[in-house]
């Protein structure tokens, strides 16, 4: 994503999702061409206007005030783009104030002018949430680990919604084998069925009690974070238990 797209994204948030001029804002010349982009699915219009001008700001202020607008505020990060308000207009309106927009456009110092508006929001929820890898492992919670699989469909236009790790396992044979991971946390329940085969005693220690055994204290229910981290990394695969770690053949200690 270009920095200009990031800028327009920030503008949308700061102006309560008022989409300013277009989705691209590449440069002022292209704005003249694309400034009508994105007006479909308008939710409502605001009393904020955006315009482009290369004239002196003091001169702009003088003419803008005479036309009934507030002082022009520079839009941070976008050269020569300003925003103004009409306090005598409602903050939210369902139809555009074309006459007011035309007043700005008729100003000799203004290259283009655009009324701010908000867009209708739609959740980007895939209609088909089945993964082609949901049967790759037999672990009971594997189907719920969408972030490790491959959820792509026509709705997302092939955009990745996950890490898509299965091809890494299958084609590159990268499963964590030969890797040792030490987790500095509150201990590891290394006797757990999903961790015991991947537990590495040699890289484990209990610094609180100055001993080798990193088993967490069960009387304190908060001592579970280290075990969860170990599971995310190195839960065993294909044992019909819980889920699958991202590097399920790695050795883990802590």
Looking up residue 231, the CATH number of its domain turns out to be 3.40.50.200
Contact 126, 155 (CB under 8 A): yes
Pair (77, 199) in one structural domain: no
Of the listed ranges 129-133, 173-177, 216-220, the least confidently predicted one is 129-133
Its sign, for the CA torsion 182, 188, 190, 192, is: negative
Pair (134, 115) in one structural domain: no
* CA–CA dist 236, 244 (Å, integer): 6
- Span 35-45, average pLDDT: 63
Pair (94, 151) in one structural domain: no
- Domain boundary among the residues 73, 104, 119 is at 119
pLDDT at residue 245 in the model: 95
pLDDT at residue 209 in the model: 78
3-state secondary structure of 46: strand
What's the DSSP call for residue 115? E
Band (152; pLDDT cuts 50, 70, 90): low
Pair (111, 151) in one structural domain: no
pLDDT at residue 92 in the model: 86
Its sign, for the CA torsion 145, 148, 153, 158, is: positive
Pair (103, 136) in one structural domain: no
- Domain boundary among the residues 119, 151, 181 is at 119
Contact 252, 183 (CB under 8 A): yes
- Domain boundary among the residues 119, 134, 157 is at 119
Pair (131, 49) in one structural domain: no
pLDDT at residue 30 greater than cutoff 50: no
| 47 or 39: which leads in pLDDT | 47
Pair (46, 138) in one structural domain: no
- Span 143-162, average pLDDT: 67
Pair (115, 133) in one structural domain: no
Pair (179, 149) in one structural domain: yes
Pair (110, 134) in one structural domain: no
State how many domains the chain has: 2
Q: Which range marks the domain in which residue 57 is found?
A: 3-119
- Span 150-167, average pLDDT: 66
Q: What is the largest CA-CA distance in the chain?
A: 80
pLDDT at residue 73 greater than cutoff 90: no
Pairing of strands 180-182, 251-253: parallel
Pair (130, 196) in one structural domain: yes
Q: Which residues of 59-96 are buried (b: 16+ CB within 10 A; e: fewer)?
A: ebbebbeeeebbebeebeebeebbbbbbeebeeeeeee
pLDDT at residue 4 greater than cutoff 60: no
CA contacts within 13 A on the Cβ side of 86 = 24
Q: Against a cut of 0.75, is the pTM above it?
A: no
Pair (107, 131) in one structural domain: no
What's the DSSP call for residue 19? E
The rounded mean pLDDT for the chain is 78
């Amino acid at each position: 994503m270009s920095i200009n797209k990031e800028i327009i994204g920030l503008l949308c948030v700061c102006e309560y999702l008022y989409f300013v001029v277009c989705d691209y804002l590449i440069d002022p010349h292209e704005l003249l061409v694309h400034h009508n982009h994105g007006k479909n699915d308008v939710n409502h219009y605001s009393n904020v206007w955006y315009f482009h001008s290369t004239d002196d700001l003091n001169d702009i202020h003088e003419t803008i005030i005479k036309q009934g607008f507030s002082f022009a505020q520079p839009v941070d990060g976008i050269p020569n783009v300003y925003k103004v308000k009409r306090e005598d207009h409602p903050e939210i309106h369902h139809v555009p104030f074309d006459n007011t927009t035309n007043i700005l456009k008729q100003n000799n110092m203004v290259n283009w002018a655009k009324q701010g508006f908000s867009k209708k929001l739609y959740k980007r929820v895939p209609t088909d949430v089945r993964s082609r890898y949901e049967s790759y492992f037999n672990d009971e919670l594997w189907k719920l680990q969408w972030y490790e699989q491959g959820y792509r469909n026509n709705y997302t236009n092939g955009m990745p919604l996950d890490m898509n790790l299965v091809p890494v396992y299958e084609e590159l044979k990268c499963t964590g084998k030969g890797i040792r991971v030490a987790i500095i946390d509150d201990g590891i329940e290394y006797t757990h069925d999903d961790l015991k085969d991947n537990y590495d005693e040699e890289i484990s220690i209990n610094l609180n009690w100055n001993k080798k055994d990193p088993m967490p204290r069960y009387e304190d229910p908060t001592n579970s974070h280290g075990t969860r981290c170990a599971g995310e990394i190195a839960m065993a695969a294909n044992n019909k238990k819980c889920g699958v770690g991202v590097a399920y053949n790695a050795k883990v200690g802590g």
